[in-house]
Amino acid sequence: MSKTQRIASATAILGALAFPALNAFPSQAALLVGNSEGNNILLFDEQNGDFLGEFIAPGTGGLLAPDDLTFGPDGNLYITSGTTPETSAVYRFDGMTGEFIDIFASGNGLFRPYGAAFGPDGYLYVASFLSDEILRFDGMTGAFVDVFASGNGQPGGLNGPDDLLFGPDGRLYVTTQGSVATNGQADLSAGLPSQVLSFDLTTKTSTVFAEPTPSPDGSGFVSLLGLALGPEEDLFVSDFANDIRRYDLETGDLVSVLSTNYTGTVPSNNFIGNLTFDPNNILYTVGFDFTNNNFGAILRYDGITGEPLPSVGNSGAVFVPTNDKLLRPIGITFTAQLPAKSVPEPVSVLGFLGVAIWGIQKKFRH
């Protein structure tokens, strides 16, 4: 074989190896996690839990105490942010790069926004926790539309609204803490129950969907937080004070309870954040140990059987063990394609191949 033929052969081999590599990177899935005390958004590998770096750096665009992470119909990432009326807003970031786009919605009484969801009517619904309201904004422009619902300080009311989710029945499901907003604080002195409410979009009226009792591993209270639609269209609800409850969406019956007490004490030393599913019906949630600097962890379950799915070397449901990168994490969402900033650029791979080919040519010259 001549030098030219050997060089061509080696180049072809490298090209063949490069093609699948270039196509493999973008297909990797990831989990995005919001640090409410780190003011940033992190990336974790959905397969093995490896930390992949920051998707959004601390304070980008003014991001403060991020809570809910929602991908919009445009593919961008919408994040509820802020702790005061002046800082409260829904921020919009590029869903693939994490670049700040704009403050999409703000003002009009929005105070400590928690859950956000795009409705079938084209509006963005946002839970304003410290005004006991759900506000509606135009889903395309972010312009304020109206106050969809308000709290009344009575059982069954919108008292401390948290997460929002639209069911396949077209109704809006809302978790409430059971608090009343008073002078910018969440007042729990009335002893109102934490509930899941179900709203009719046309009439704006609500009914109580669920009102659970405290977890046996908790501290004697209920504070419902995250909502996710799982297998068989059952409704999964996380309790900040521990446990994930699974409800039949049609009947409201409690199907099962998943333990989230990963710190193993009674009462538990950990609180629990939001929920997300991947396409394989795997359920993920985040939590943090309030006795250990609010350092967080990620938990994983089989969404069909409820069985915990720990990663290699861990036990229980621990997928990513407690670490100092997770700082009081609350928001979590799945993305089917690993965001661009964590994917090696194709030009880098090609550059590497170019160096390899140059080396082969140089070798054959001598």
User: Who wins on pLDDT, 252 or 338?
Assistant: 252
In whole angstroms, give the CA distance from residue 303 to residue 300.
9
In the structure, what pLDDT confidence band is assigned to residue 339 with cuts at 50, 70 and 90?
confident
- Give me the pLDDT at residue 340, please: 67
For residues 163 and 365, the model is more confident at 163
Whether pTM > 0.85 for this model: the answer is: yes
Dump pLDDT digits (tens) for 191-243.
Answer: 999 999 999 999 999 999 999 999 999 999 999 999 999 999 999 999 999 99
Is the pLDDT reported for residue 358 higher than 90?
A: no
Alpha carbon distance 28, 236 (integer Å): 26
Rg (CA), the chain: 23
Domain ranges of the chain: 29-342
Report d(CA 277, CA 183) in Å as an integer: 37
Q: Comparing C-alpha atoms, which of 37, 77, 1 is closest to residue 334?
A: 77
Beta bridge partners of 135: 126, 147
Q: Which of 3.30.360.10, 2.60.40.10, 3.30.70.360, 2.120.10.30 is the CATH number of 29-342?
A: 2.120.10.30
Average pLDDT taken over every residue of the chain: 89
* Residue-wise pLDDT tens digits, 44-90: 999 999 999 999 999 999 999 999 999 999 999 999 999 999 999 99
**Residue % of the chain over a pLDDT of 90:** 84
Q: What is the pLDDT of residue 210?
A: 98
Question: What's the average model confidence in pLDDT over 113-126?
Answer: 98
User: What pLDDT band is residue 341 in, cutting at 50, 70 and 90?
Assistant: low
Please enumerate, as own/partner, the contacts of 58-63 that have beta carbons within 8 Å and a separation of 24 or more. 60/93, 60/98, 60/100, 61/91, 61/93, 61/100, 61/102, 61/103, 62/87, 62/89, 62/91, 62/103, 63/39, 63/91
End-to-end CA distance of the chain: 16
Tell me the pLDDT tens digit for each residue of 82-98: 999 999 999 999 999 99
Q: Tens of pLDDT along 306-319?
A: 999 999 999 999 99
